[in-house]
Amino acid sequence: MSDAFSELERAAVYRAIRERRDMRHFSNEPMSAEVLQRLLQAAHQAPSVGLMQPWRFIRIRDVDLRGQVRALVERERLATAKALGGREQEFLRLKVDGLDRCAELLVVALMDQRERHLFGRRTLPEMDLASVACAIQNLWLAARAEGVGVGWVSLFDPDALAELLQMPAGSKAVAILCIGPVDEFYERPMLEQAGWASAAPLSEMLFENHWPTADTPV
């Protein structure tokens, strides 16, 4: 095929996938506007159900506003800790966001008026969120290739954030992305390194023809 990837290109794509990390530790250095623009273009090239392009990006530049977003994340961090019960103290020791030192803060939201789009969503309306997640994954991989860290923070009350950012009814924020230079990428997922959770192998998640049952193992 004339449009085949070379061996080196193929390896680079797999490398970005393998070495991408959900970052919480940033180096407090600035990031060029050109790099940010490339990352956003990568996100915008994502697939979307019925080509609806439901993603909206709000770049938070105002210093006071960033402080308000941080306060909102901190409030949810404490609420989550309490809800975790027995693991409350362990959770509170984790670093769960990078809002303190990341170069850029980007809120990603579902657009309003999504009910107008039916293609591929009649039985699965949540495909709009799936499209937005694909866009964020594009941005994440492109960032890794640029040597830039990205962390997806979902510790916030979406209604409170909507009010803060003057978002219209029907829209919904689904990510606060911390983006920027890092000193180093984690060797393994941070939650594994911190002993919070351990990843299971693919083999446990791969079935054939049907879900396994006690009678019919994988």
Which residue, 100 or 154, is less far from its own copies as judged by CB? 154
Closest approach of its own copies to the CB of residue 141, in Å: 6
Q: Beta strands 148-153 and 104-110: pairing type?
A: unpaired
Distance between CA atoms of residues 34 and 148, nearest Å: 13
Q: If DSSP codes are grouped into helix, strand and coil, which group holds residue 140?
A: helix
Q: How far is the CB of 77 from its own copies (least distance, A)?
A: 10
Strands 172-181 and 55-60: unpaired
The C-alpha atoms of residue 163 and residue 40 are separated, in whole angstroms, by: 24
CB of 157 to its own copies, least distance (A): 5
Nearer of residues 100 and 141 to its own copies, judged by Cβ: 141
Distances (CA, A) of 82 to 25, 68, 78: 24, 22, 6
Comparing CB distances to its own copies, the nearer of 100 and 216 is 216
Q: What is the DSSP string of 151-199?
A: EEE--S-HHHHHHHTTPPTT-EEEEEEEEEE-S---SS-HHHHTTS--P
Could you tell me which of 174, 168, 130 has the C-alpha nearest to residue 156? 174
CA distance 107 to 23: 16
Q: Which residue has the tokens 């866009």?
A: 135
Minimum CB–partner distance for residue 145 and its own copies (Å): 4
Assess contact for 41 and 164: CB atoms under 8 A: no
Indicate the residue among 50 and 74 with the shorter CB distance to its own copies: 50
Closer to its own copies by Cβ: residue 89 or 198 = 198
Q: Of 94 and 100, which CB lies nearer to its own copies in the complex structure?
A: 94
